[in-house]
Structure 1
Amino acid sequence: MNQHRLLALPVLGESFLLQRDGKNILVDGGFSSSRLIRALQATNVDVNQLDIVVCTHADRDHAGGLKNLLGNSTVSVGEIWLPGEWGDSLRELLNDPKAVVDALVNEFREFEPPRLNDSPADSGDSDEVERQAYAIINSLREKRMKNYKHDVQFVEGEETGLSGLQWLQEIAGNTQQKDANLQDERHIQNRKAAENIFQNGINRIRYRQAKRRLDAIWAKIWIVAIHAAAIIRGIALQAIESNVRVRWFDFDRFVQNGYHPVGGVADLLTPLNAVEIPMPPTPASDLRYFVRLTPVNERSLAFLSTQAAGLCPTDIVFTGDSPLGYGVGYKMSFLARRTQRGLAIVTAPHHGSESNAVAYTHIRSCWQDLLWLRSGGTRKHPGATFKKIPTHLRACTHCPQKGKALDLAEVQLSDRLWPVLRVRSHYCDCEA
């Protein structure tokens, strides 16, 4: 049955499934591959073939479920779209993950992270303090990009996926062959050994935190970077082993290209803040691993699915964790080039976090918002701006603040009449 619907899957973290034009498009996978697989194979979803899998960034609550998707299920994938910045560390991660983890742990001594605003030692949850830390990391990367220029190149079309996979196979060397036997005992031992390496790095960071050698917030961020390293390596190995087309979408080249996005599949799924490239650019040798690997919300990829047909065509906007802007307070919109103000269903930026409140303004300057679909998050989410949206214009998979259980949220669409035929989710009655 050729359905046209958008699903927020009932997984911990964020994962959306768009079904349109006979295709299944998965955007992010939540924390856990086992939960993601159960959600995809549930009776009311029943998906075993994904035409496109998108990873917006390497945060565990978005990408953790993609790490073992193919290895632990019968789900097949046609293409996987990945952030170009992963190329900064993939060669080393595939061939010597221990060296990367050791370097990450040791960078604490060299970096001497600045003290953040005072907060309780166990507060690692404070939005503002974390924002300061991530801003420092993002500024280090931006400084590097100003000093590291490369030509803006991009490609479009199916050949992109072929060259993207070939690049991965070449840099992986003898780590894994694309026809590797997934049941081979040595292969399983190698994978377990890599998992132990990443866990050992996390344990070393936690030990230093327990000994009060580093601030709780910085310890949390370093652990996030180690998890990201494991996720990046795992997703790349899956693509190699299963011979899946890989397409790369680069945020830095988007900035260098005057904030003009390029690539994707026209009229199906295109980037809002990236340029598609045949392979990641050559990494700068002076970039520290924690800067390369820490997922920063400002760099989270965002995508657009445009519906051109019908009386009331409706766009689907996948915001990820992006503020959809740049400059001071992100007040300069990435979307400024859009001229037509159509209808849109939008995934709530950063789980409805108040830190991304400016994104709502950017969206409304380009679209009439028919619905905001929220998934994932913690008790901090959603924030005041999301709660101010009229209840009939918002839907959620669950509400951490009110203790509502996790469940599928479904939006059925039509290309004939009013675009939203049916919305099924928890009644969203949070108040600002």
Structure 2
Amino acid sequence: MTDIMADLTWREAINQVIDEDGLKELTQKKSISLYCGVDPTGSSLHIGHLIPFMVLKRFQLAGHHPVIVIGGGTGAIGDPSGKNSERVLQTMDQVQANKEHLTAQMEKLFGTENFTIVDNYDWLSKLSLLDFLRDYGKLFNVNTMLNKEIVASRLEVGISYTEFTYQILQSIDFLHLYKYNDVQLQIGGADQWGNITAGTDLIHRQEGADAKVFGLTIPLMLKADGTKFGKTAGGAVWLDPERTTPYEFYQFWLNQDDRDVVRYLKYFTFLDRAEIEALAEKVATEPEKREAQRRLAQEVTKFVHGEQAVVEAEHISKALFSGDVTALTAEEIEQGFRDVPSVDVTADKANIVQWLVDTKIEPSKRQAREDVTNGAITVNGERIREVEFELDPTAAFDGRFVIVRRGKKRYFLARVK
């Protein structure tokens, strides 16, 4: 079989491993099942979730069987996050709705063959309090639990018993999956190491010291400037195209720093070593062409949103760069102009000077007349030079939008209501 561990090592995708030699030997001998968990705390995954999912996908492509646990049970109580506060408990209706959205997103990433999604609510909800304390609580040492990094970081400000027990519930997940789904490996972010080792310890206590179970964590993903990967000025980058459009998603990857792009190519794409090394050479010799960034944007956008989304994102990018917006569809405008200043307008025709002032694109009639006369105003890709020009808001883009550009780069979007 493919040497998946060697590939992950080259891609700098391994932080810590429980019995690395044993895991390498096992994965070269046979196909294994492995899992990663995600709690339904929101209605969409974001690119931070791609960090463990890319490793899961690589195992899948190498012939192994990924399992994702949607934490309908653990999500109802919340894990002790790195933040100095308790998570807000969600209603079960919220958890269920989020679970359905996340399931659809993950099936898009992993397909439906050689892939399993389970919900830990199915087994955790059957545990009585007495069973939990007798069968599992007895096997966990409080001193050991307190020393887990994710718990220790919260002790100064306080942590509830509910969140404190999260690592026991996650350990029960691993035990259940080992017994009933033949799962031998759990993967997670660097902050999950304590929870993962707690799970392997529980399995060894329950099933015997010779049980072959492993854990693997992924390095903390930091940008070259030391800040956390995946955050932008506008917040998280979501996989839901309604929250982060495919164009915005594409632009996020296209705008990565030269210092980060090769590492991201290794981690977030399925390009082979030869192509990535060739792109790394381009970064070193011709960084101004940003060929590596473009390839990164293409590959990750294709993986998450499909090939057509790449075509549309590049079409929008080309139109905005050239200023020729006439070929854009109304749907592409919805994507590409989400972050530009916008205003609602009526469908009524109006004099261009008055319209520019009414929409506050221009501060005064004097400035509006001057900009029109000087050719600084384009409407829907057409340069306007006549101050008597009558603007029809429904003339283009299915009657939904008017795109105004003032000067070379300042865009405005009018939404026709």
Verify same fold: TM over 0.5: no
| Higher CA-based Rg | 2
Q: TM-score, normalised by structure 1?
A: 0.24
Between structures 1 and 2, the one with greater helix share: 2
Query: Larger relative contact order (C-alpha < 8 A, sep ≥ 6)?
Result: 1
Q: TM-score, normalised by structure 2?
A: 0.25
